[in-house]
Structure 1
Amino acid sequence: MRLRVLLLLLLSVSQIIYSQTKVGGVVQDEYGEPIAFANVFFPNSSDGTITNDNGRFYLQSDGNYDEVQFSFVGYKTLTVPLQSRAVLDMDIVLQSDTEALNEVVVYSGKTSKKNNPALDILRKVWENRRKNGLSQFKQYQYEKYEKLEFDMNTIDSAMINSKLFDGMEFIFDYADTSAVTGKTYLPIFINESLSTVYGDNEMNKEKDVLKANKNSGFSNNQTIIAFVKDLYNDIDVYERHLKFFDKSFVSPIGKAGIDAYNYVLRDTALVDGVEAYNIVYYPRRKGELTFKGDFWVATESYAIKEINLQATKSANINWVKEIYIEQEYDVLNDSLFLITRDYFMSDFALNKKEESKGIYGKRTTLFDDYQFDIKKEEDFYRRRVNDYDPMIYDRDEAYWDENRLEKLNQDEKQIYTMLDTLKQNKKFKRLYNIGTVLASGYYEVDNFDIGPVFSVFGYNEIEKWRVRLGGRTYFTANDPWRLEGYMAYGFGDNQFKYGISGKYLLDKRSRLTLYAGNRRDIEQLAASLTNTNDVLGRSLASSALIASGNNDRLSSINLSTAGISFEPLYNWEIRLNGSYRTIKSANPTGFSLDYRVPGSDEIRGQVNQSMLTLSTTYTPGRKTSNYGVDRTIINDGDFPILYVNYSRGIEDLLGSDFNYDRAQFYYTHPFNIGGFGRLTARIEAGKTFGQVPLALLDVIPGNQTYFNISGAFNTMNFYEFVTDQYTTLHLSHNFNGRLFSRIPWLRDLNLRELVGLKAVYGTISDENIAINRSNLEYRAPTDIYWEYSAGIGNIFKILRLDVNFRGSYNYLPDARNIGVTGSFGFSF
């Protein structure tokens, strides 16, 4: 999804920035070897940078400077006069300084962990961490200004003459040549926001209250804004690991850094009037998620004064060629160091080749007006209202001029006007519509969306080829009501199917919502344990184009449902739902759901069931955008989920067949284990009280497709195990290439190691076995069924393959001892 957002940004071509002073080029020694980590700065200013692995640099400033200075340990400092305000092809040669080399110990390769003054200083930083920053106060609040910008880079004549830009060639009149490698770039998106941040260290709570937001061309699209912001999470360099782009990088300041980096004490100097040590760091090994750069540490308080971090090119991360971070801290009350500026730049590209085209993403965050020990009530932090306030996105320019913590330069201001012109271009409108379809899956027609386009075709054993066409009402992203529906036709059973649903948001604050729907379709009921009665949902197992073995155990269902939901607290939802459904086999000659009616000899093949369900879902840490009846999850898969469900089957209500009770719950949690990758754990349990037939029992979900299905067992067949009480455990760990990075011939492929373990224990009562008249023999995993897997991810950056091994019940006639599954996806 994030890459689709980047595609939208790419299509939203806008205007170029012209900075006041900008320089770029390469720094080398007398022998033509590039000098990495060399200092580049404008004299008598705080504007500076360091060279990358190849000695290349880029530096820009709103100030007017007549010279730029270059320095590095062991070389003579060089000051170069500037003949113009933009010099982007500088070829700098630094001369060795033998006198300086006699005075300074220069480290190369791996540095010692003993008798290293840099590590002694770093340990002092750890000891004094709690004496610096916001953690020493009970409460805090501050003003925050954030500016996000995206630029197309590596623009060349081939791109300019491409048919893609026919009719839009005028935009390249605003292009400029200025990037870390001297590339031509074209800004296409800018977003600004102002907010007040409140925090309470005693309650461990923080709240960010948005006051204003504006951007070039997407003023009302909170989803794009939220996705972009989520790419650049705030980071605390004191933490052991820094998380962004779904990865955990080892922090050079955190305690985990000592095993991941080499440290060199390079200098001691005054930085903004504060005496500070300068320490250079670089990775001990290739292929790990690490940085290179330097930082300044105040000599008295051992607080970080300045730091820059540049991700190494060997880091195992997709779609990102460069990452560069700068943070600056100022002294408050002579001793307290607080962050005042945070700059983050990344280069998104399909590969890491020097000539590859991509998109620069830049974030600048400024912090000001710190205040402390102003207490807020707990309810202030607990309740976060997802409500769209148009005023926040419609502040006038006078408001921004008064409240910005950093003024825009003239060229940044022009970005806001350029897109207005571009949006009138017919070619751009067509490209924008294509991007919208790829991102949302729907094709817009006035106030109605047709789709999802990715669900048009399907296949299964009963329907054979299947065609589906659906749509939804769509006026704005914040619609208070929505109607959705679809129709489908199976060419194997020659039957029409359909689904229709509607929902209405009664109250934005509590998210009080009414919903109802009806669906008649073919479904694989044995693909999930916790069904949600979603009338439009459909399991991948029901329409797999490629399946392992014969999958003809499908059911024909007619489901009607209505309910109410609300959120008493943010990310805590409660649902009360009533449903009526009929269930029968979709393949009577090959798959039976027959049962004996309790207390008689009558045999039936269809179940009619009325049910009331009370459920609750808690998703702490979930981020959403849009505030109508539908919301978009921004950080999908990055937060824990707790689900609890109680259902009551009611006999004779609308001709319902059975009285029973069912309780179920599951809990899933992703854990970032620092440099060792990411572990996802899921535990699920349930129990059915009462006598019920196969259609209402808990069938352990198998997987007979070649695709990974969440919550299913990949070497288990559909309906292989049937229970009325069960407990399952799923563990999946992604090492993110930590092991392969130590193997030279594998390192450059950026593959990622995956391991998994799944297990289930369950039983079934004699009374439920007694009424079974289907052609299936009930079998419960009383000896614990388990399987394990090993896989390789990031194949061609999009493919994951797993080999799954069955660990028990191997003696069964149809047992699949080994199964191969895969999945496609875009991830960093």
Structure 2
Amino acid sequence: MNTPFVCKNKTPELAFIIIMKQSLLFLFILLTYNTIAQTKVSGEVKDAFGEPVAFANVIFKDSYEGTISNEEGRFYLESDASYSTVTFSFIGYKTQELELTQKSTYKIEIVLEEEADALSEVVIYSGKQSKKNNPAIDILRKIWENRRENGVKKFKQYSYDKYEKLEFDLNTIDSSLTKSKIFKGMEFIFDQTDTSNITGNTYLPIFINEASSKIYGDNLLNEEKEVLEGNKNSGFSNNNTLIAFLKDLYSEYDVYDNYLKFFDKAFTSPLSRTGVDVYNYVLLDSAFRDNKWCYNIVYYPRRKNELTFKGDFWVNDSTWAIKEINLQASKSANLNWVREVYIEQEFDVLNDSIFLITRDYFMSDFSFRKKEEAQGIYGKRTTLYNDYVFDIPKDKKFYKGQVDPYQYEVYNRPDDFWENKRLEQLSKDEKGVYKMLDTLKTVRRFKTLYNLGSVLASGYYEVDNFDIGPVFSIFGFNEAEGMRIRLGGRTYFSQNDRWRLEGFGAYGFKDRRFKYGISGKYLLDRTSRLTVYGGNRRDVEQTGASLTNSTDVLGRSLASSSLISVGANDRLTRINLSTAGFSIEPSKNFNIRLTGSYRTLKSATETFSIDYKVFEDGIDTGVVKSEIKQPEIELSFNYTPGRKTSGYGVERTLINSGEYPNFFLGYTKGLKSIMDGDFDYERLQALYTQPWNIGGIGRLYSTVEVGKTFGDVPLSLLNPIPGNQTYFSIYNSFSQLDYYEFVSDSYASLHLQHNFGGRIFSRIPFLRKLNLREVIGFRAVYGEISQGNIDINASNIVYQAPEDIYWEYSVGVGNIFKIFRLDFNFRGNYLDNPNARRFGVTGVFGFEF
């Protein structure tokens, strides 16, 4: 039978969800506090046929405290007060009461009987609702017309106080977990576990972070600035990266926007202009909410497996502003590692017409498995807003001015500061998290678990103030070195270190040579991020692996990273590189670098040559050289608007990788006759990368690169089109090209990769449950090579530039076992090239929500 959707006078409880990567699970199984509710009840609501009754009302009798059953008819309800009776009701069914004989009553089964009289008087909504003559959609159109005139957007300038609390809990605590050997010596943390008033699962609080800020904005200047006044967290005072990562998962959003971005996914908002295509809407009720007459609209998805919500909202009948809204992610949504997401927002009325947000609650439940009995982590964010002030302008310099991003007093506020700034006081149990962590950090076994989680997360093993690693690059293989062993390390006192030394040593068993690299950086000024750096590296490298150059002296060498390759991967170069320079950020995320470098290059294998002819005054001298000595000066500009980082030291941790655009412009000058330099040339390069959330049809990544070298230079100083002879999918390379198959001195390339996020597969019945995701790609490049550069060539590489525009495309299946993507790559042209690869299969591992 069809399950009715709507319910009457419902008061949904808050419920959300969020999950970390594997390594973070080790960090989170740590702490405890307790909450003691007076009355608890959980169970399932069914009909006479044994079918679940979704969205049934569950309320403590003679109270306003209640909840609704979920899609499976399950519910959980608790209160600090004592109650003896619970009532269950739903449209078309007889109301039923249950007498409670004890404070905690779990796993009860309630069977509701159909009410014949009621069925003839009410309309039970289920299935698809009409888009025509639907009063709910008429109201939705009013919301669209007025949404830009609500909130702080109605004023020229604004400011307000913001208090944010992040909390994480290890959930589904059972005897198998509490008796696990992993917690030997730490059993005391389970003494005071509690039960969630959202899901009914037991949980163990493990982390709390509080932040108090002042927000300033100017709608005329289109500027906004957040000034952090205080920050406090439980136990992880030095782990700002973890805190920033968690905050980014709960990024800011506006329910009026067409799409809401959570966990790198774009959910269609129920208030979206495209909402009528993915949601059913029902006008359920109308009533006063805080002396404002409002309409109550219920919404739910039209189809499964899409990134949608279900819930309801109250909207004012004159301003068409949202008064209250809740959103719960559809359980069938194509989302990894997350069992549930629940959002609730409340708005207050100013001057009888302006609705301002006062409370935002976000809860999520992360787990490697979606089964309810599986262990996971609750993530909760509560944001409160207060003290709105309007139309007090500030100079534009206020919004653009650089300030010291780290101020000691902000992170070490006294208790009386928090007593005044908290817009919602901590419960006794939340305060207990701070105390519990202080105790737990003294336990040796906890320190061991923490260190293990740190290795998995960072790739480095901590020894006092020195990190050994990265542990994942210890072993490698290439044609020049054979099996390779690499061991490195770095200084690390805290993530706010003003200086850092880093180095590595490597040995190849085939060439019997020792390689090394060492670099140093020092942050002179934290406000402008003025930094000096330098270093030296002797290594084997796969040059030509990317079009845009890198001045990082310890940049990762692709030569040692592929254990298996397509064909002979012998076109490798021995490099001795020394660099020195400085960088500065005159404004946020705008970086300027000036680097001087000196490198010597020669072939690393007998089957690969980088030889070049020596010309004097345009005449071939007949001399052929096999080694290049080249000093360079490079000036580069890099702008990454929207980039988020953690830490205030010489190195910062990137938080939102792949979520922001990147603009790069570089100028390189090769110097001849200085330090025995061989060539005099100039190079210009530019790159633009942009991720695009394209509504409900997925996410597109695009990259455009252009460049030109002025002057005659040999193979190692040209721009080979980056091929890919590995079995891994590498973005910004050409999967069906061999290394050095195309060589250019002028180029323009385009890379497009679109992930539909399961939009197509969700419509195929036998594929729907697999939650697979469709990925398509297109790559093209145009290039030229001058006659002068052809004439100077004496290597065993025959120059060919893609003057007819080389292109290829790919079709991929992602989210295989939630961690793997398989790409099928097709070569578009130049099929007559020697050993041209028409078709290939590559793959890539990754953790995505």
TM-score, normalised to structure 2, is: 0.94
| Equivalent-residue separation in structure 2 for 1:192 and 1:66 (angstroms) | 37
Q: Given the alignment, which residue of 796, 801, 807 partners 1:775?
A: 796
Report matched runs for 1:44-63 at 5 Å: 48-60=66-78
Cα offset, 1:786, TM superposition:
0.4
Alignment match of 1:784 (pick from 792, 805, 813): 805
Structure-to-structure mapping, 1:554-593, within 5 angstroms = 554-587=572-605, 589-593=606-610
CA distance in 1, matches of 2:64, 2:294: 15
The alpha-carbon deviation at position 553 of structure 1 amounts to: 0.4
1:623 lines up with 2:644 in the alignment: yes
Alignment match of 1:612 (pick from 633, 657, 661): 633
Code of the residue aligned with 1:625 in structure 2: it is S
Show the counterpart of 1:765: 786
Which shows bigger deviation, 228-237 or 777-786? 228-237
**CA distance 1:20–1:198, shift in 2 (3 Å):** farther
1:208 maps onto 2:229 in alignment: no
| Matching residue of 1:475 | 493
- Deviation larger for 166-175 or 508-517: 166-175
Name the CA distance, whole Å, in 2 between partners of 1:211 and 1:4. 33
Distance 1:151 1:158 in 2: 18
- The answer on 1:687 being equivalent to 2:708 is yes
Q: Tell me: CA distance 1:490–1:42, structure 2 relative to 1, closer, same or farther (3 Å).
A: same
> Is contact 1:141-1:196 (8 Å) kept?
yes
- Of 192-201 and 684-693, the range deviating more from structure 2: 192-201
- Deviation for aligned residue 1:87: 4.8
Q: Distance in 2 between matches of 1:41 and 1:819?
A: 60
- Worse-superposed segment, 26-35 or 228-237: 26-35
Q: Does residue 362 of structure 2 align to residue 341 of structure 1?
A: no
Displacement of 1:387 in angstroms is 2.1
Kindly indicate whether the alpha-carbon contact (under 8 Å) linking 1:642 and 1:668 is maintained by their aligned counterparts in 2.
Answer: yes
Which residue is 2:571 aligned to? 553
Ranges in structure 1 where 5+ consecutive residues have no aligned partner: none
The alignment status of 1:125 with 2:143, answered yes or no, reads yes
Change (3 A) 1:208 1:637: same
2:745 corresponds in structure 1 to 724
Distance in 1 between residues matched to 2:347 and 2:485, nearest whole Å: 59
> 1:536 Cα shift?
1.1
Aligned residue in 2 for 1:172: 190
Deviation at 1:67, TM superposition (A): 6.2
Once residues 382 and 42 of structure 1 are traced to their aligned partners in structure 2, the CA distance between those partners, rounded to angstroms, is 53
Is 2:615 aligned against 1:594? no
Deviation at 1:523, TM superposition (A): 0.1
Q: Residues 417-816 of structure 1: matches in 2 within 5 Å?
A: 417-587=435-605, 589-599=606-616, 600-816=621-837
Between the aligned residues of both structures, percent identity stands at 63
CA distance in 2, matches of 1:41, 1:331: 28
Q: Deviations over 1:27-73 (max 9, x none)?
A: 33344432222344568887654321112233456677776655433
Which residue matches 1:404?
422
Amino acid at match of 1:503: K
Amino acid at match of 2:679: F
Could you list the runs of 5+ residues in structure 2 that have no partner in the other structure? 1-18
Structure 2 equivalent of residue 251 of structure 1: 269
What is the letter of the counterpart of residue 261 of structure 1?
Answer: Y
Amino acid at match of 1:423: K
Q: Give 3-state SS (helix, strand or coil) of 1:228's partner.
A: helix
Which of 235, 239, 253 is residue 217 of structure 1 equivalent to?
235
Between the aligned partners of 1:275 and 1:63, the Cα distance in structure 2 is: 30
SS in 2 for 1:642: strand
Change in CA separation of 1:19 and 1:620 when aligned onto 2, cut-off 3 Å: farther
CA–CA separation in structure 2 for the residues paired with 1:200 and 1:181: 41
Verify the 8 A CA contact 1:330 1:340 in the aligned structure 2.
yes
Q: d(CA) in 1 for partners of 2:259 and 2:733?
A: 32
Q: C-alpha distance in 2, partners of 1:539/1:47?
A: 61
| TM-fit CA distance, 1:397 | 1.9
Per mean C-alpha deviation after superposition, the further-off stretch among 324-333 and 124-133 is 124-133
Instruction: Determine the structure 2 residue equivalent to 1:356.
Output: 374
Question: Residue type matched to 1:590 in 2?
Answer: T
Q: Which moved more, 1:428-437 or 1:205-214?
A: 205-214
2:577–2:600 CA contact under 8 A, matched in 1 = yes
Q: Does 1:11 align with 2:29?
A: yes
Q: CA deviation at 1:781?
A: 0.3
Q: Work out the CA distance in 1 between the residues paired with 2:420 and 2:83.
A: 27
Select the residue among 279, 285, 303 that pairs with 1:267.
285
Moved more, 349-358 or 450-459: 349-358
Deviation by residue 1:193-245 (Cα, 9 ceiling, x = unmatched) = 11112222222222222111112111232111101111111221111111010
User: How far off is 1:105 after superposition?
Assistant: 2.5
Aligned counterparts of 2:105 and 2:214: Cα–Cα separation in 1: 39
Query: Secondary structure of 1:430's match?
Result: helix
Aligned pair partner of 2:333 in 315, 326, 347? 315
* Alpha-carbon separation, structure 2, partners of 1:5 and 1:138: 45
Q: How far is 1:356 from its partner? A: 1.7
Describe the shift of the 1:461–1:505 C-alpha distance in structure 2 as closer, same or farther (beyond 3 A).
same
State the one-letter code of the partner of 1:396.
Answer: P
Q: 1:326 to 1:72 in 2, by over 3 A?
A: farther
CA contact (8 A) 1:62 1:409 kept: no
Q: Given the two structures, how large is their TM-score scaled by the length of structure 1?
A: 0.97
Select 2:181's aligned residue among 163, 168, 179: 163
Q: What residue is the counterpart of 2:15 in the other structure?
A: none
Distance, in Å, in 1 between the alignment partners of 2:78 and 2:688 is 49
Residue 288 of structure 1 corresponds to 306
Q: Structure 1 residues 159 and 346 mapped into 2: Cα distance closer, same or farther (>3 Å)?
A: same
Question: Does structure 2 retain, via aligned residues, the 8 Å contact 1:18–1:411?
Answer: no
**Secondary structure, counterpart of 2:241 in structure 1:** helix
2:430 aligns to what SS in structure 1?
Answer: helix
Task: Report whether the alignment pairs 1:325 with 2:343.
Answer: yes
Aligned to 2:600, the other structure's residue is in SS state strand
Which residue identity lines up with residue 804 of structure 2 in the other structure? D
**3-state SS of the aligned residue for 2:248?**
helix
Whether contact under 8 Å (1:40, 1:48) holds in the other structure is yes
SS in 2 for 1:548: coil
CA contact (8 A) 1:527 1:539 kept: no
Shift of 1:609: 0.3
User: In terms of mean alpha carbon deviation, does 347-356 or 503-512 score higher?
Assistant: 347-356
Deviations 1:331-376 (A, max 9, x none): 1111111111111111101121222211111111111111112222
Compared with structure 1, are the counterparts of its residues 326 and 464 closer, same or farther at alpha carbon in structure 2 (3 Å cutoff)? Answer: same
Q: 1:738 to 1:824 in 2, by over 3 A?
A: same
Q: How does 1:97-136 map to 2 (within 5 A)?
A: 97-136=115-154
Q: Which amino acid aligns with 2:787?
A: D
Note the aligned Cα RMSD (angstroms).
2.0
**How far 1:8 sits from its partner (Å)?**
4.3
Verify the 8 A CA contact 2:484 2:560 in the aligned structure 1: no
Code of the residue aligned with 2:814 in structure 1: it is G
* Residue aligned with 2:622, SS: coil
Say if 2:469 and 2:489, in contact at 8 Å, map to a contact too: yes
